Structure 1
């Protein structure tokens, strides 16, 4: 694949908070530990090594081995799991929901970014070992977010009633989804491989956790990816003291709220991604996952009849830690407690909420990981590249909002000037003279002058818009071809990676898709990638 780069801030698809983070804004430094450059990992290694108990390694190793029982484990993955026992082994982590058939294309980008970073770190620090981890979000309960994927502009959806943690959902009923998907794929060799992957995952495994593990293992097992499921009693025992501080003392609520206030003071454009609750845990039992709330000294499980006294809640936590499920605020801490982790790789929204958490980690005496924005990419075929060139477009223009994209291009190709900026500037200069005249004669005329300026500017704007619309009609064919191209590469006027499923690219590239992406994606490049093949 040929690779081009576009700065993230020029795409228009990333928040000011994330763009400022990528620019190493000094004002944001209190909210992260170290910026992810290769040379910065040396201090992160030392800090995590000093702050990660050896006992956690043996517990982690046993838990992961238990989770892989019944699965075919590649030699590369088995080696990586074994390495976790060593004190000089560390992890790089990404996480994702259990989306049907992996969901959006960026699922692949997340995992490939993670694997590639471990390889770069091994070259830089050969005395250490680095294990790529995919953390499955098995305890999420928002089924509507994961029960579909898009294929060639249509939604392939799993319709059924669901409650509780999605990882426990039975795969019954997915045979009809398989039949629908198969009918759309055709009969090529690559289509047959996709059918087999879907069938083996969902029709031969009992629950969504096992099905997702199978797919991720099939796609990335040869690269040594290790898949971790946090829904483990053995692993959650390590979380007990931290859960107590959350539930009984509301420490995360206090710390994260302070960080949110501090971020809001830095910029009104910093959108807060998630807000903490007084208690950041759900109770998980028999198909329910409901928030724990405190009311008058009693701890109740929302929307149920279940309640605990303080003493009984502590006893329940110590006896059955697997029944306590961390929310989006507490889960990152859980991950960093059980893993010898150096860096978390996620999308812009994920990193935005991680930036709220550093003081919370410090209060809990848990090392805060480095935060790396995952690779983002636009994949274009040779045919699409030629179409863009024939339209005399720049790929960067395609990232504009559609109306701005059309207007910019019309102004460029029109045989008349439809930009009234010079006239507006001249008008402003003329009114500056009128303001001076009013100041020197009668200041009460200032309001009338201002009103006249606004009126005439609106008149120019209206004329400009009418002329632009006339040119759009005149250049209608060009506009249609431009917008068709943009809609093809940006489905639903969104980034391709958020809409397409990997199966569309797999139909064309087959087993060569993942190796090609492995070669093209550089996790530390800090730019949006355009991949051409």
Structure 2
């Protein structure tokens, strides 16, 4: 495994400036992640604000219950024991639960969290534990119900799970029947090549989805089997036990809702005023909280002194909503702008690991942290990789292709290469034949027009038909050349499918199951030996 840096163009402009020109956006964030003093300063603030957060013992008890069900590993138990101790900090990061863990970027985020916690503990000389926050309270089923794998023919294949019920409830509340999980496992089994590791891979896939698990439960079990041995604690934001701990802070979010709205709008104006696009909606009158009514997650808005959803399915005064919170805390849920604040309430967050889109939208709650007496944690860019297997690397060398070539798209390079394989120069000769025919035929047609006007139109139509026939034969000749080079063109296609599937970075599309099946579960151990790099630089892993 050889790892080399390779910039990946694109992404959020705001995140790009955060990573590369922090001083230009420092006013939108809480500190420079590259500055060791920022870490020490953040740690000191957390020490002095312990009383502002949920009780540490209660929080750890909640995490112990959840991890004992889905992530029971001695290293996780050790992390939780550390977290019980006053002064222990956490590096966090999260993602929606995805089918078979979702895209590779989820794996890379977990890696970053673990490595960053280890580095911070060494630097600060105190315990820092890694924690992965599963966004199970989200209800965007279409975002998590599918994944992509490279099949036996090295083609992009989608595996999808249809929604068992038609509601907008949280992903963690949707139970998946064993028959559905079995069908998904059979699809995955049929797509993966036979390998010495396949029985083991399919076994832990099956174990993750037993007893009609939800998507979040299956996700947690898979993540635990992959990263539990590294001490990665898991948390589901939809955990009912967690919601009871969050209840006091939900009360704060209601009491200060107007101030929070002002803070969000202020940050949004600063972001757009600096020329950046908002990565999350900031709407006047939005309470930025969800209320769960009869299984459906409804976003609340403030209008006419009441809190209601867009369709007035529910409507409460502030006092009524506070009563609901006191009696039924499980009915309340964060949105994308309040979750960062809630995370800071329940955990001593030294730093949080984010992708580029997340880095951009985390600038929006910057002022909101101050409203609730908090301070924004440090933000670490997620490590980013593209995996290039040995055979594909050889193919790229053979055709003199760089990763940048693949990233930009191979159509033009492929056509240039194909043209070079045409030893008879058929393309050029066909074009010359058409030009020669036109040169000879057009004067004749014009002379015919002098004999009879109708012959001019007939002659032009005749010329076009002959040119069409020549072009038809030209296309057939091109097809024949492509057929002659079919094996080589297949190699070009595999390069593109593997590195930039559907024109997107590999890490945003493919699932890790193909790689585990190819290289074994130890592949994760190999990834964990890669030198940590928290600057947001994309890197190539040559297998």
Q: How many Å apart are 1:293 and its aligned residue?
A: 2.4
Confirm or deny that 1:179 pairs with 2:186.
Answer: yes
Counterpart residue number, 2:158 = 155
Counterpart residue number, 1:466 = none
The change in CA–CA distance for 1:408 and 1:134 in structure 2 (over 3 A counts) is: farther
Q: How many Å apart are 1:55 and its aligned residue?
A: 5.3
Q: Which SS does the other structure have where 2:213 is aligned?
A: coil
Deviates more, 1:385-394 or 1:145-154: 385-394
Counterparts of 1:447-458 in structure 2, within 5 Å, are none
Q: How many Å apart are 1:151 and its aligned residue?
A: 1.5
Counterpart residue number, 2:223 = 216
Confirm or deny that 1:400 pairs with 2:408.
Answer: yes
Counterpart-to-counterpart distance in 1, 2:194 and 2:81: 41
Counterpart residue number, 2:244 = 234
1:520 touches 1:531 (CA, 8 Å); kept in 2?
no
Counterpart-to-counterpart distance in 2, 1:412 and 1:396: 22
1:281-303 deviation line (CA, Å, top 9, x unaligned): 11124421111223322322454
The change in CA–CA distance for 1:207 and 1:392 in structure 2 (over 3 A counts) is: closer
Confirm or deny that 1:367 pairs with 2:366.
Answer: no
Counterpart residue number, 1:377 = 385
1:238 touches 1:338 (CA, 8 Å); kept in 2?
no
Counterpart residue number, 2:315 = 307
Counterpart residue number, 2:40 = 42
1:137-188 deviation line (CA, Å, top 9, x unaligned): 1110011110111122111111133420110111212222222222223543
Counterpart residue number, 1:271 = 277
Counterpart residue number, 1:139 = 137
Could you list the runs of 5+ residues in structure 2 that have no partner in the other structure?
151-155, 422-477
The change in CA–CA distance for 1:245 and 1:14 in structure 2 (over 3 A counts) is: same
The change in CA–CA distance for 1:192 and 1:286 in structure 2 (over 3 A counts) is: farther
Counterpart-to-counterpart distance in 1, 2:260 and 2:414: 47
Q: How many Å apart are 1:345 and its aligned residue?
A: 0.6
Confirm or deny that 1:529 pairs with 2:515.
Answer: no
Counterpart residue number, 2:75 = 76
Counterpart residue number, 1:201 = 208
Q: CA RMSD in A?
A: 2.7
Counterpart-to-counterpart distance in 2, 1:81 and 1:286: 35
Q: How many Å apart are 1:529 and its aligned residue?
A: 0.6
Structure label with greater radius of gyration: 2
1:312-343 deviation line (CA, Å, top 9, x unaligned): 11111223222110111111111111110011
Counterparts of 1:270-289 in structure 2, within 5 Å, are 270-277=276-283, 278-289=286-297
1:79-105 deviation line (CA, Å, top 9, x unaligned): 111111212200001101011111111
Confirm or deny that 1:170 pairs with 2:167.
Answer: no
Calculate the TM-score normalised by the size of structure 2: 0.80
Counterpart-to-counterpart distance in 1, 2:420 and 2:32: 40
Calculate the TM-score normalised by the size of structure 1: 0.82
The change in CA–CA distance for 1:497 and 1:408 in structure 2 (over 3 A counts) is: farther
Could you list the runs of 5+ residues in structure 1 that have no partner in the other structure?
414-472
Aligned residues: 468
1:56-98 deviation line (CA, Å, top 9, x unaligned): 2122112112223444621110011111121220000110101
2:134 touches 2:234 (CA, 8 Å); kept in 1?
yes
